[in-house]
Structures are given as C-alpha cells and as structure tokens.
Structure 1
Amino acid sequence: MRIDVIGGGAIGLLFGGRLAEAGADVRIWTRTSEQSAELAEDGIELHPLDGSAARAVRVKSSWIGNAGQHIKDENGTGRTVLLTVKQTDVDEQLLERLAMIACPVSTLIVSLQNGVGHLERIKSRTGEAPVLAAVTTEGARRLGPRSVRHTGSGDTWLGPWKENEGKADHMLENQQKMLVSMLQSAGFASSLSKEMESLILRKLMINAVINPLTALFDVTNGELPQHPARKRLMKALLTETETVLRAAGMKIREDGWRLIEEVCERTGGNVSSMLSDVRAGRKTEIDSINGQIVRMAENLLLAAPLNQAIVELVHALD
C-alpha cells in the first residue's frame, strides 16, 4: 500500500515509521530539505512505548517544495495521503502542494488536524479527491529531525465528514477498509466511524483542556492533574467547554472528566504539541482550539470566559 505522509512532526514520524514497518510503501514529505535528506539517508528512528531499544525504519522522503515532481501512481490501485501537520500549517502554500501530491482522483486524503474548519479548506483545493476526517489520541514526541518517541497508546478513528456523506463508492469504501487494516497491522487501534463530527468535537474538548494548561504550567500530560489547583482548573475548563460543544452538536457517551483523566494517564509522558511550541518559540494552535470554542460560544449566544482567558494567557507566552 502506498502512503504519503505530509508532515515530519511527531505524529507524522510515528505513523509513517510504524506503517513502513508493517509493509506499507511510505514517503514522508517534510517542510525542510535538510530533514528530508536525513530521513532518506538514515530512516526514522522509532523509540517504542515500552522503553525498549530504538530501531531504524527505512522510508522514502521528499521536500514538500518539490511536490510538483510527485510520483505517479504506478500500480493504479490508488494512494493514501495522511496530512499530519498542525492546523496552523494548513495555509495556502501547503494546500497547493497537497493538491499536487493528491492529484489522482483515486488518492484518499486523510486529515489528522486538531480543531475544526480545516476540512472545508482542504476540500476546496483538492477537487474530486475524497477527503476523510481522522481523530487520534496516540501520543508522540519528536526527539530530532528523524527521531520520535511513542509516549502513549490511544485510538484512531476514520470516516466521512458531512461534506462527503453519501458520496462514497465501492472503491472508496475498499480503500478505507484497507487503510484501517494497515493501521491495525502497524499496531494502532483503528476503526471506521460514521460519527466523525462528534468525534472531532470530542477531540477538540480534550485538546481544549489538556493542551493549553500543559503549556501554561510547563508540565507533561500525566503531571497536569497531579496538583489540586491545576485539577480544579481543568474541571472548570472542561465544564465550560463541554457545555459549548454539546450545544454545537457533540454527542458523547463517556463521562467527560473520566475521559480527560484517561487521556492524561495513557499519554502520561507526552509533552503536548502546544507546550512543545511554547518551548520552541513557535506559534501555537490556541486560536484553532480554545479560540474556536470562544467563537462557537458567541455563535450560540453562550459565554466562554475561561476559554477566552486561556487564549489570552497562551498568547502572552508566544
């Protein structure tokens, strides 16, 4: 199976490496030519969750700037593109490159971004290529340009979103099933879902509580709930966020707080992407996460003062 992974960050390296180990033909598309050269020369260095010795996995790699020279689909069976960059990186330039890489209609585009709003932008630039929504709670930390540590096991769901509902054909359904099977072979707990809208909002809720607070307190996911004051703040932020998202259509069967606790436990050693961005002096995804909660609340005539305060506090760290 041919898989193009766009993004050489933690999730891109983790999924790309594990899928290559499972037998997929993987190409990692990177933001810099230097990272691409390292990956092409030495492969991905995977540090397993169980703490065992790291292992090198061979993959192909290309610089995203060369996307116009994309490789054609030689075997005619279609390809899968995993878009693993952060939502803040889904700009016009990246969408132009994505359209080049995914130009065959048989290419399946799978979007793994946090937040909402990006799927519409992706679809508007990729024409007839089918776009799937995806949500994952796997934890990973990039240690270097070619090195990644798996920091927490989770679940990965794939499925159509509202713009694609009712448009799936037999070939697309087979591609989805093949991808899920490949992800399972790579050791990821993966499944298809017809409730992606709720799952996307569910992931937004998790991110809105965990990511900004780990960034503000400079702690790992597992450390976050260990202090009573932090725990009280987490619960207050969850209550406000959950109220807004339920009003926006989120259907969630689990207890919200227990779900947050489970994610913190399962990804205990993980440094959230927002904390990593703050430490590295990069722009965070705060506007796409808690900022989105604030915008939803305004549209629903609800109040979200705590989310608004969190947005301002994280911006103060930028």
Structure 2
Amino acid sequence: MAPKKIIPKSTGDSSSGKHWVIAGAGSIGLWLGAHLVAAGERVTFLARPRIISKVQTHGVHLTSWQGKDMRIPAEKLVMTADEACLAEADVVLISVKSKDTLTIGEQVARYIKPNTCVVSAQNGINNAAALKNIFMSHNVGSLMVPYNVMPMDEGRYHCGTEGNLVIDSRFSDLAEVIRRADLTIKTADDMHEVLWGKLLLNLNNPLNALSGVPLVEELADRRWRKQLADCMDEVLNILGELGIQPKVQSPVPASFIPKILRLPTFLFKLVAGKMLQIDPLARSSMWEDISLGRPTEIDYINGEVVRYARSLGMEAPINERVISDIKRLEQTSVK
C-alpha cells in the first residue's frame, strides 16, 4: 500500500462539484486546465518541477491569435509533482506525450477512485484503448484537441490555430463544464473517426518541423503541400481498406483535401483561404520538440500509418520517408 501523502487543496470555488486533475500539465494541459480554473472549477495540475517553478513564478497567461488575453495568477493554480493528488480526482485529464501513456496510466491506476473518469487529450489513435486496458472498470475516453499551443516567455501560452474540441458523447456532462469554461466543444459517438481525422491533419506536423518555417509559409509552398497530400493519400487508402471515414474539421470531405493541397498556389489560396487563417508565427508542436531537443511523437503519427499499412499487407513509403527524415533530425537535436 502506498504511503499516505499530503494532497494540495484547490483554492477555487467549484462550479460543477468535480475535481479535475490534469496529468501532464504541459502546454495543452495548462491551456485546458487554466480555462477550467477561470470558470471556477477545482483543478490540480500534476506537472514536472520545471513547469511548477515556471507557473509559481509567472502564473499562466493565455493568449491567442484571435485576441484572447487571460491571466491566471499563480495563487489560483494548484501545482504539484506528487501523484497522490490523483486520489481526489473525479476526472483525470491525461495530456502527456503518447510515448508516456502507459507510464502515466500505471501511476494513475495506483490512486484513483472506482468512479473516476479518465480522458485522453493526446495525439495519436490508440491512447484511450491503451488506457482502457489499464482501467478496465473505469469510464475511459478521448478528448480531441485540434489546436496547437506554444509556450512563450514569462508564463504565456499562445494558441496560434483554431478548431473545436471534440469529446466522446459518453462525457456530455464534461462537455458542458468545458463549454462553460469559454472553450468550444462538440461531442461525437465515434471518436475513432475523429482521431483519424486529426491524425490526417497532424501529418503536417513533421513536415513543418522539416521545413523550418512557420505554418503559413510552409503551406504557401506547393512542394510541401504536395508532400503532405502524398502522406494523406496513403492514410486514406488504409482507411478505405478499414472502412473508416475520418472526420476532419473542414468544410470539405477528407478525400478532397489532398486534391486542394496539390493546386497551384494562387488557386490554393483562393480555394483554401481558411487553411491559412492562422497566426503568421505559428509552428507545429513537433517543430517545438525538435527546437528544444526533445523526442518527437513521430512514432504515434506517421508511425501509426506505417503500422496499419503493414498489418494490411500495404505499404506507406512516403510516411516511412518522413519518419526517417525526422529521426535523423532528432539525432542531431535531442539533448
């Protein structure tokens, strides 16, 4: 039995009566959790000492390219590196990198109550399934986060893209809480289709890292768009074999996106102007990982494509090449 530890108490007044624990309070975890705190929810952030120190010094300052400007002072944010905080959780929101899913899952399993909900807010396709294998008797599901949030100086976290959060329809009560926290969210019955839709768009993450330029500049370059279209075609072929229709946050079906990407640039800008309505300085999270010398999630994005292709006796050579290019870049940058 684990030794008894002191669990920090939240200072905020709860509006839903739920105690949220954000397990893996990086950029996305802080973005979501700070919104909940501002809405009066009781939230504890389980984070690394480096993040805790940063938040205790600066608080959290949320900004977006669309004009959001929200400050949460440090005294309103309950930060801890003590995993015993999980014992009080009604909802555990997991936002660690996909490679750490099993590790955090085992930590959570040591503490949580039988009726605690576990929600994966991660990149990749199979994190919720992996967590469900650990939490056989718990309610486990996914929250799809469509945007990218970058850490800036002095506790600022900046959202440079847009989109609606999507959560499993079994968590409609949580969706309502999140909606009251000034975050747009929808529910979906088949999150697997939603997660494949996100992965389809996330194929641009490594290409943006390889390009070394902001997203707007990369998408304005037809050479990069054609490479992205080739990667997407491989995924769409795989999904066709699996009978899966990916759900993307786009006014056109997923199957049309590669065709639009391959258009000459002047036509692309006319047809897909909304794709370029992002912060001119925004870059992908994989670019951030490379720039900070951290391992990337390439194995859980393009790597998933290759694994599914092989399981079906198919090939995905374009995605394999992107993986190799990113692995080489990691070798020169990981500290």
| Bin of the TM-score, shorter chain as denominator length | 0.7 to 0.9
Q: Which residue of 2 aligns with 1:164?
A: none
Is it true that 1:95 corresponds to 2:111 in the alignment? no
Q: What CA distance in whole angstroms lies between the structure 2 residues aligned with 1:266 and 1:156?
A: 17
Report how many aligned residue pairs link the two structures. 293
Q: Which residue of 1 aligns with 2:318?
A: 306
Which of residues 289, 306, 319 is equivalent to 1:277? Answer: 289
Greater shift in the superposed pair: 236-245 or 32-41: 32-41
Which of residues 192, 196, 211 is equivalent to 2:191? Answer: 196
Amino acid at match of 1:156: L
Q: What CA distance in whole angstroms lies between the structure 1 residues aligned with 2:241 and 2:235?
A: 10
Q: What CA distance in whole angstroms lies between the structure 1 residues aligned with 2:228 and 2:215?
A: 12
SS at match of 1:133: strand
Is it true that 1:84 corresponds to 2:101 in the alignment? no
- Deviation at 1:263? 5.3
Q: Which residue of 2 aligns with 1:211?
A: 205
Q: Which residue of 2 aligns with 1:50?
A: 66
Q: Which residue of 1 aligns with 2:215?
A: 221
SS at match of 1:90: helix
Is contact 1:80-1:108 (8 Å) kept? yes
Give the alignment of 1:224-263 within 5 angstroms. 224-252=218-246, 254-256=252-254, 257-258=256-257, 262=274
After TM superposition, the score normalised by the length of structure 1 is 0.83
Is it true that 1:60 corresponds to 2:71 in the alignment? no
Is it true that 1:148 corresponds to 2:173 in the alignment? no
SS at match of 2:167: strand
Is contact 1:3-1:80 (8 Å) kept? yes
CA RMSD across the alignment: 2.4
After TM superposition, the score normalised by the length of structure 2 is 0.79
Amino acid at match of 2:65: L
Amino acid at match of 1:7: G
Is contact 2:61-2:72 (8 Å) kept? yes
Is it true that 1:294 corresponds to 2:276 in the alignment? no
Q: What CA distance in whole angstroms lies between the structure 1 residues aligned with 2:40 and 2:200?
A: 34
- Deviation at 1:135? 1.1
Q: Which runs of 5+ in 1 are unaligned?
A: 74-78, 161-172
Larger Rg: 2
Q: Which runs of 5+ in 2 are unaligned?
A: 1-17, 262-271, 331-335
